[in-house]
Amino acid sequence: MVLAFMFASLLPWVHNKPGFYLVLGSSNVDEALRGYLTKYDCSSADINPIGSISKQDLRTFLRWAATHLGYASLAEIEAAPPTAELEPIRSDYSQLDEVDMGMTYEELSVYGRLRKIFRCGPISMFKNLCYRWGAKLTPQEVADKVKHFFKYYSINRHKMTVLTPSYHAESYSPEDNRFDLRQFLYNARWPYQFRKIDDLVRELDGDRVHLGESSELDKLGDSSQGGGGMGVVAAGSGNPNVGL
């Protein structure tokens, strides 16, 4: 990034042009939410056109553009496995983002909407996901996923304070300066919330069942399958479980 900013400053001078160039970023909402970026490095730029859009929505747009705008190369980009190319590619190995993060981009998209739009903390997110994913995951498996997400979310939340400004297209952006004002220092162990989740798992006794109290939130959450989150009624301050 240092080299990119140097070129942005020097190239106009070399070509005898006034001003300077802008450096564009390319990180997305899911990478920011998980903290899967380096502070003041790949996350730094003058503006990030896709910084407020999730990976799933970006892939949906690429598929649409490949079909309706005639850019066949976009289909190849959409189908390529996400990788930051942090390690040398070998014949039998390639570094993959989802393996490094310990979660899929599809899961991150769900976490991001529940956290931002519906104001879910660890406990309410666990309840909602037990209802949504109960047919394929046990409550313990759901608990492990929720804990894993919130552990890394809280560890890396400080990175959102210096996130590159982006085109604000959705309501699930984690950007701390304008659209998601909240604390950025957390106890990453979440002692009360994780203990409460463990209590709920024991109550469910490993059965693949859903939690009925999450049904209303889940109906709202179905909008995440349609792409945009704008205009969705979120769980407001009148809900005593907000943030838990």
Q: How do the pLDDT tens digits run along the chain, 244 residues long?
A: 888 899 999 999 999 998 889 999 988 999 999 999 988 877 789 999 999 999 999 999 999 999 999 999 999 999 998 887 777 777 777 788 899 999 999 999 999 999 999 999 999 999 999 999 999 999 999 999 999 999 999 999 999 999 999 988 899 999 998 889 999 999 999 999 999 999 999 998 655 555 554 444 554 444 444 444 333 333 444 454 555 7
Give pLDDT tens digits for 175-234.
998 889 999 999 999 999 999 999 999 998 655 555 554 444 554 444 444 444 333 333
Separation of alpha carbons 98 and 30, rounded Å: 11
- In the chain, the largest separation of any two C-alpha atoms, in whole Å, equals 71
Hey, what domains does the chain have and what are their CATH numbers? 2-82+97-226 (3.40.50.620)
Where are any strands of DSSP class E within the chain?
none
Count Cβ atoms within 10 A of the Cβ of residue 18 and give its class: 0-12 exposed, 13-18 middle, 19 or more buried: exposed
Beta carbons within 8 Å of 96's beta carbon, 6+ residues apart: 81, 82, 83
H or E segment at 145? Answer: helix 139-156
Contact of 164 with 244, CB cutoff 8 Å: no
- Residue 127 has phi, psi (to 5 degrees) of -60, -45
State the Cα–Cα distance between residues 150 and 146, nearest whole angstrom: 6
d(CA 229, CA 110): 11
User: Is residue 218 within 8 Å of residue 128, measured between CB atoms?
Assistant: yes
CB 203 within 8 A of CB 144: no
- With a CB cutoff of 8 Å and minimum separation 6, the contacts of 30 are 36, 54, 55, 56, 105, 108, 109, 112
**What is each CA distance from 119 to 41, 57, 82, 116, 215, in whole angstroms?**
30, 20, 28, 5, 15
